[in-house]
Chains A and B, each alone.
Chain A
Amino acid sequence: MATQRATLVTVSEGESGKLTTLVERRSFLAILFSTIAAAFAAVCALPLARYIAYPLYAAGSRGHWVDIGPVSDFTSTSEPVRKLVNIEHVDGWQQTVSQQAVYVTRDANGSFLALSSVCPHLGCSVAWQSQSKTFVCPCHGGCFAPNGSRISGPPPRGMSALATRIGGGRLSIQPPSA
């Protein structure tokens, strides 16, 4: 309002004054418009941003224990045992199952060690090579020791170890969120 009153005053100051008034009034209105529009866009953008970002916050499947078989299946100490696990998880609006391979072996203390087959480099599936007694990633040649630690190649770290649990003579693992 103050600006408008000011413009009214300048109007009486003659031709050059009129010109400035017009310019001033234009920029005043432009600022008014853009402020209203920006405030408005912000109010409407908030629900939209929440809506788009929802999957980032939706509950993952971490925390589920998955039974992978009786302990007796994993007694071999020479070779890691490869197991396919069905991981049930909520994928958007539906319940689905994805399969993941895990390797079960024993660490130096003799306790179970479950390793994710997903290469920590770029996510290819790592395979066990029984001749060389190493895990080798087929994509970029990452090489891991039987306990999953990194030997060579581009991966930044060793293979991911998954939590294990024994109950009632059966081994369960906690898969990474699928």
Chain B
Amino acid sequence: MSKTEFQCNAQTERMGARRLYDWVDQRTGARSLLRHILDERIPGGARWAYVFGSGLVCALFIQAITGVALALYYVPAAGTAHETVAYLTKQVWSGSFIRGVHAYGSHFIVLLLFAHVIQTFFYGAFKNRREILWLSGVCLFLLMLGMAFTGYLLPWDQRSYFATMVGTNVIAEVPGAGPLLKRLLRGGEEMGTLTLSRFYTLHILVLPGLILSLIALHVCLFRRAGPAGTPEDDLMKPRRPSQPFYPRQLLMDAGFALALVLGLVGLAHFLPITLGPEANPASTDYIPRPEWYFLPMFQWLKYWQGPRAVIGIVIVPSLVLILFASVPFLDRRYERRARKRLLSVAGFVLPLAVLALLGALSYRDDRVDPRVRLQLEHQKDEEERYMKQPFAPALGATSLANTVPPSPEVAAGRKVFLAHQCNFCHGDNATGTAAAPRLVGIGEQLSTEQLMGLIRKPNARMTAGKMPAFVGSDDDLHAVVTYLLSLR
């Protein structure tokens, strides 16, 4: 192909693309819309400080994609939630990675939210008729925390179960409607299957719907008000010229988004997220700890007990929230420079500092108390041990083990197993819990005599794990061993 021919072809192709673009533009106005978006002028020029908003949109987009992927395998019910998360984490290709991106993504979003709010505050970018813009942002902030709270329960492992138990108990402290609210959120008095479906519905339908519509409002209001730009410049006599959004700011936004995705992918790959053993409501020594962003609240609640609790749990947080929401109504002067509005800055920084301090105190408390520290380490070990176990498919309701009626001896043994509360620690179908190991297939490792001996007189390791000696009759012992041997 000669050079001219090549150029001609390239030109024809460009013409083709141009004509298609013209065709679309005439019907949608895409060109003027794009120009409107890209050419928006930023007073004082592009800055790295402005990347957090678009970073949030990018992170939310990633959450949406990975969330849809997780929903492909997840089944939200008490009997299946943990099993399906274990399946997708341990068995499904790239499952651990996808789940990792989603979990780390939630941390990133909380960090970005803080960064976005702090930037907006210090730049005074909430001023000049942007009150509703700020309020929509406050609502988004709360909704995102709601996403973090509802999503946390879904894996239904020890950690998420007990943390949510505490979290929902806090709601009961609201005077008057509290207990009712708690029951409504849990779908009953106790946490269970209905709690999971409620949290799941909130997490994948209600909250994302609200968030999406509020983001649309937030962005529209932002476009209407225009970028506030740098606070240092005088709007009338700017020292620094304004710049269009494209290309510099877009390049910065894209660079930041790239770094975000790289960070997420790297974390999910090199520090895989763990899953603990299935939630066992019977375990009494589990110490629940919320995620870092709820730690300050968690620590704060420790100081408020008894009848005064309502002050700490309801009144103070509500006041802080009202203060946060009314920032543009309290700090109303034209002045945007942070150093010229010290009172406002102090009112903003102080609560933030208290939050950070509370978080640090909570962290320290857990390291100082040796009992707590040991238990937390033990819980971490347990998670790691659980992660190393290969995935074993659950016995579905229609599996042979559950549909073929057991022999009378096996049925009698199962009765003994339940009567002596072996199921409290070993699970209803002896499939194991956080407190005690799985007994399915134990017959392949131990003989009848060995099993009988160990149940009658547990060895040192079993005793350390709080396994009591069996006190029933020899017939019962024989029956329970028959039952255990039937499990495969």
Residues of A with Cβ closer than 8 Å to B? 25-26, 29, 33, 36-37, 40, 43-44, 47-48, 50-54, 57-58, 86, 88, 90-98
Contacts and interface: CB of A to CB of B under 8 A. Distances in A.
B92 A44 contact: no
Interface string B66-99: 0001001100000010011011100111110110
30 contacts: A25-B247, A26-B247, A33-B250, A33-B254, A36-B258, A43-B265, A44-B265, A47-B93, A47-B94, A47-B97, A47-B98, A51-B69, A51-B72, A51-B92, A51-B95, A52-B72, A54-B91, A86-B403, A88-B400, A91-B396, A92-B87, A93-B84, A93-B88, A94-B393, A94-B395, A94-B396, A95-B395, A96-B398, A97-B398, A97-B399
Contacts, number: 86
B73 A92 contact: yes
A48 B65 contact: yes
B69 A97 contact: no
A53 B394 CA distance: 22
Contacts of B397: 96
Main secondary structure of the interface of B (DSSP, over half): helix
Contacts of A52: 69, 72
A165 B83 CA distance: 36
Main secondary structure of the interface of A (DSSP, over half): helix
A53 B72 CA distance: 11
B251 interface: yes
B261 A40 contact: yes
Contacts of B250: 33
A93 to B, nearest CB: 4
A93 B394 CA distance: 7
B254 A36 contact: yes
A54 B399 contact: no
A95 B393 contact: yes
Contacts of B72: 51-52
Nearest to A49: B94
B83 A93 contact: yes
B328 to A, nearest CB: 35
Given A29-B251, A52-B69, A95-B396, 15 more contacts: A36-B258, A43-B265, A47-B94, A51-B72, A51-B93, A51-B95, A53-B93, A93-B73, A93-B80, A93-B84, A93-B86, A93-B88, A93-B391, A96-B398, A97-B396
B21 to A, nearest CB: 12
Contacts of A97: 396, 398-400, 403
Nearest to B38: A26
B247 A29 contact: yes
Nearest to A28: B247
Nearest to A48: B69
Residue among B98, B246, B254, B398 with most chain A CB within 10 A: B398
A163 to B, nearest CB: 21
Interface string B432-457: 00000000000000000000000000
A14 to B, nearest CB: 22
A53 B93 CA distance: 8
B376 to A, nearest CB: 30
B94 A51 contact: yes
Nearest to A33: B254
B399 A93 contact: no
B258 A48 contact: no
A94 B399 contact: yes
Contacts of B247: 25-26, 29
A40 B84 CA distance: 29
B74 to A, nearest CB: 10
Interface string B141-185: 000000000000000000000000000000000000000000000
A27 to B, nearest CB: 10
Nearest to B397: A96
A54 to B, nearest CB: 5
Given A29-B247, A51-B95, A94 B403 contact: no
B34 to A, nearest CB: 11
A48 B95 CA distance: 9
A88 B399 contact: yes
Contacts of B94: 47-48, 50-51
A54 B83 contact: no
Contacts of A91: 396
A132 B297 CA distance: 78
Contacts of B69: 48, 51-52
A90 B397 CA distance: 13
B55 to A, nearest CB: 15
